[in-house]
Amino acid sequence: AQKVTQAQTEISVVEKEDVTLDCVYETRDTTYYLFWYKQPPSGELVFLIRRNSFDEQNEISGRYSWNFQKSTSSFNFTITASQVVDSAVYFCALSPLTGNQFYFGTGTSLTVIP
């Protein structure tokens, strides 16, 4: 079975706090891609990051960082020093190399309170 679980439905933080969004996935494939997308209140889907299953290096991009751990099948996303503009729904997604389908989690709605 292919599945992505985002157990946190809604999170609220005060501006400047750090926040981590959890993503746990299931797949029988050994080769796959993981993604994070952002959906701001305007509704569009914005690509944030792609990670392949062979690359477990953590990645940092400005205030954003991603922690990929194959041992726990997790691909967590941390926002450091959150800002109001980070308020959005964030989706984690899985795409196994075989099968050509995409599987999205149910999303985490993040609200950053000024």
Partner 1 sequence: EAQVTQNPRYLITVTGKKLTVTCSQNMNHEYMSWYRQDPGLGLRQIYYSMNVEVTDKGDVPEGYKVSRKEKRNFPLILESPSPNQTSLYFCASSLYGPDTQYFGPGTRLTVL
Residues lying near partner 1 in the complex (CB under 8 A): 6, 9, 32-33, 35, 37, 43-45, 47, 50, 91, 93, 95-97, 100-107
Q: Which is nearer to partner 1, 87 or 95 (CB)?
A: 95
Task: Give how far Cα 41 sits from Cα of 45, 84, 85, 110, Å.
Answer: 10, 12, 10, 11
Shortest distance, CB of residue 41 to partner 1, whole angstroms?
13
Show the tokens assigned to 65: 């960082």
Q: Which is nearer to partner 1, 86 or 91 (CB)?
A: 91
Answer whether 11's CB lies under 8 Å from 69's CB.
no
In whole angstroms, give the CA distance from residue 96 to residue 40.
26
Q: Which is nearer to partner 1, 11 or 80 (CB)?
A: 11
Shortest distance, CB of residue 92 to partner 1, whole angstroms?
9
In whole angstroms, give the CA distance from residue 37 to residue 10.
16
Shortest distance, CB of residue 112 to partner 1, whole angstroms?
21
